[in-house]
Structures are given as structure tokens and as C-alpha cells.
Amino acid sequence: MTENRVRRVAEQIKKDIGGIINYEIKDPGMAGITSVTDVKLSKDLRHAVVYISIYGSDSDKEETLEVLNRAAGFIRTEIGKRIRLRHTPEINFHLDNSIEYGAYIESVIKSLKEEENDGHDGGSGQDN
């Protein structure tokens, strides 16, 4: 299977799973803001690892991940209806903390810049 086809199918699965999560799963255990950040497909298209970003507390994240893993069969069936593939991939959900980590790094950089600016405003009379 060509890499290009695997990448295109992964993008389509990402788009479709995002829609299914946001509009079709009606479980009260789902966190308010849940998004699909990436999909990694095996070369034979039989296995998909879906990375999910969830906004909320750690307990919200765990509960949402459990709901998604319980709904994996339903989601797989929906993907099979929407995308014509010989074999619909098995779906495994994993939590993606990269967005949170990026926000943390941004806040650290911002605080370092503020400290640097406070240190340079020591009354030297020069504008930086």
C-alpha cells in the first residue's frame, strides 16, 4: 500500500471520527471539548491509533477515554459505512497531551520574558 494512500485514508478517518464524536455520541460521560489530533494507520489499514485531545480535568479525560473505548465498535461501524475499505481498521484511542504541553511551554516562556523585562527596567533610563 502506498504511503500516500495510507495518509489520505488516515486524514479521512480523522475527519469522520471527529464528526462522530462531536455529533453522534450522546454519552453523558463525554467531556465538552474533545478533538481528534492525529490518526496513525498501519500500512495494511487494519489498525488505527486515534489520538484524542480532551479539555477538562484528569477525571474528565479518563472518563471520556473510557467512553470512547467502549464506543470503538460503534465508531468502527460508522467508519465502515462512510469509507469504502476492504477491512475497516480496529480503533484504539490514546490521550494526546501535546496541546496542554504546548500551552505549558508557552506560559513558561511568557513568564521568563516578563522576568527578563522586569530585570532590565532597573532605572537605567534606556528603553529596551
**pLDDT tens column, 13-63:** 999 999 999 888 888 878 778 889 999 999 999 999 999 998 888 888 889
Please give the average per-residue pLDDT across 1-7, as a whole number.
Answer: 85
User: What is the model's pLDDT at position 100?
Assistant: 78
Superfamily of structural domain 3-119: K homology (KH) domain (3.30.300.20)
Tell me the average pLDDT of the chain.
Answer: 87
Torsion 102-94-17-35 (CA) sign: negative
Dist. CA 72–CA 67, nearest whole Å: 9
The better pLDDT of the pair 1, 10 is held by 10
Give alpha helix (H) positions in the chain: 3-23, 58-70, 72-82, 98-120
User: What is the model's pLDDT at position 120?
Assistant: 67
Per-domain residue ranges of the chain? 3-119
